[in-house]
Chain A
Amino acid sequence: MGLIVIDPGQAATVQDGGRAGYRHWGVPRGGVFDTFSAGLANALVGNPSGSAVVEFTLRGGEYQAEGPLALALAGAPMPARVIEADSSIRLLEPPTSFVLKPGERLRLGVATQGARTYLAVRGGWQTPLVLGSRSFETYLRPRDLLPAEPGSIPVHRPREPAWEISSDRPFRVLPGPDAALASHVLEALSSRLFHVGSSSNRMGLRLEGEPIELASDPSRLSTPVAPGAIQLAGRELIVLGVASGTMGGYPHIAQVVTADLDRLGQLAPGDVLRFAWITLDEARRIDRESRERRRAIFSRIAMATRVG
């Protein structure tokens, strides 16, 4: 019982809240790139925020139900339709919960904005659990089966939050541990525009812009890093993504604040982005407000879903 992959789109993986607490073994946390959108999809089917979802990148693909499934879609807007057994078509308007009957297909197009869309199922996808998480970087392939419990759910479309385009606002940053090495890089970071490079993925985003010069230090030792770290790799800046390794050898110039990490996951190649410095106190306040806001939204949705 579950969902069969017909066409896995551009890069679809199963992700959840990731593996917390294994960095000292070199195991990154990983997990969904846009935790808010994934949490929204989960809330719509009554799941806890960290349940396993499918993460689609830029193009969703096509999937067929093996049984009745209670599903929800949220995240980057993608054309979404259900192909019914008699080939008639039912349009979906994400974010939304919906049901696939046995044999029905979900067909997802190309994201019109953003980069990542999430598909939740009531109870979570029951793919293998390793070190407390179902997150894997392996792309789904045609004929893969995503196991899930059968279920049913009324269609529910939350009125908020409105979809926000990631590159509309600057990404807020704190100085990194190596900021003192590179005052001219700090200046460049907040005064220039950068383009997201085409080779960007869950490991990291390349920032294309004017080259930046910094004398390299070959004796430099690797040091712990975290998603959102902005490093100077050669003459180019990179921002580490959610699936980046636990250690890095390049100078760590700046760090994207936690509250803006989800938006990193919604940047597509070619998007323009800007950075703005804030203080640690502001970053912690924004982080707190962001966590409170998401808790409030998810609990409202959970209530509404229960009422039907």
Chain B
Amino acid sequence: MTTSAQNDGAPIDPSGSVPRLSPLGDRAFLARFPSEHEAAAWAAAVTAMAWRGVVDVVPAYRDVAVFADPDVVDLEGLELHLRALVPSVGQAAIGRRLVIPVVYDGPDLEVIAGQLNVTLDEVVACHTGPVYDVFAIGFLPGFPYAGWLRPPLAGLPRRRSPRTRVPAGSVAVAGRQTGVYPGESPGGWHILGRTPLRLIDMAQGYFPIRAGDQIQFTAITADEYEARLHERL
């Protein structure tokens, strides 16, 4: 019971270079940072070290999980390395900027416009305006968690009753976040529209969006949607 309390006690370094590191079970660590930027830089630094026995480095917002194989690496030794690691300036790799075409005809669009007391066009303009940072990939293979949404679109709570079936390609929002469902899944976010593009191809190991990339949405017509259906992002 005392283990995580000891590890959680580390103060947050004001320069942001030292994470608050705690165990994530007995074969992984969770590093927590004051900002998304510091977490991304540290994740890039850990990945770049390519330590033997480090199985996966998973950035997500201000957290980074590091999974290790105790058959290959001594976990106490790895923890010391992780605590001592200081990312060099600019280590967070510059991500790519990807443009995702969307037909804005989603089942929640009108309800949202009504709730926010704005026109459909204003909802679309609000969603297509910003360039979003991708903070994490997860929950589903290839699902980008991106943000931040701007007012008035930001701040919608998740649907009270999640849909049991959200189609692949659905573009959705919740809270300050936006994302795209790469495959069919249950989901509680509000669906604004759909992209014709394939966001992943598991069999080919094709995962074009990575944490650290930027995405921007652009409005297309239903005809353009049909023309580009199943094209890869």
Contact = CB atoms under 8 A, between A and B. Distances in A.
Given A179-B4, A279-B3, A287-B70, A222 B138 contact: yes
Contacts of B25: 174, 226, 228-229, 255-258, 283
B143 interface: yes
B157 A284 contact: no
B58 A24 contact: yes
A288 B70 contact: yes
A218 interface: yes
Given A21-B56, A175-B4, A283 B138 contact: no
B4 A222 contact: no
Contacts of B2: 279
A25 B209 CA distance: 8
A247 B4 contact: no
Interface string A240-254: 000001111000000
B1 interface: yes
Interface string B23-55: 111111010100000000000000000000001
Interface string A90-112: 00000000000000000000000
B227 interface: no
A46 to B, nearest CB: 21
Interface in A18-44: 20-27
B149 interface: no
B63 A284 contact: no
A130 interface: yes
A255 B4 CA distance: 12
Interface string A264-308: 000000000000010111011001100100000000000000000
A209 interface: no
A27 B141 contact: yes
Contacts of B135: 221
Interface of A: 20-27, 130-131, 174-177, 179-180, 186, 218-219, 221-224, 226, 228-229, 245-248, 255-258, 277, 279-281, 283-284, 287-288, 291
Given A131-B202, A186-B1, A277-B1, 8 more contacts: A24-B59, A24-B137, A130-B203, A177-B24, A221-B63, A224-B30, A247-B136, A255-B24
Please provide the 6 A-B residue pairs with the shortest distance between their CB atoms, ordered closest to farther. A247-B138, A224-B65, A283-B26, A280-B3, A175-B4, A255-B25
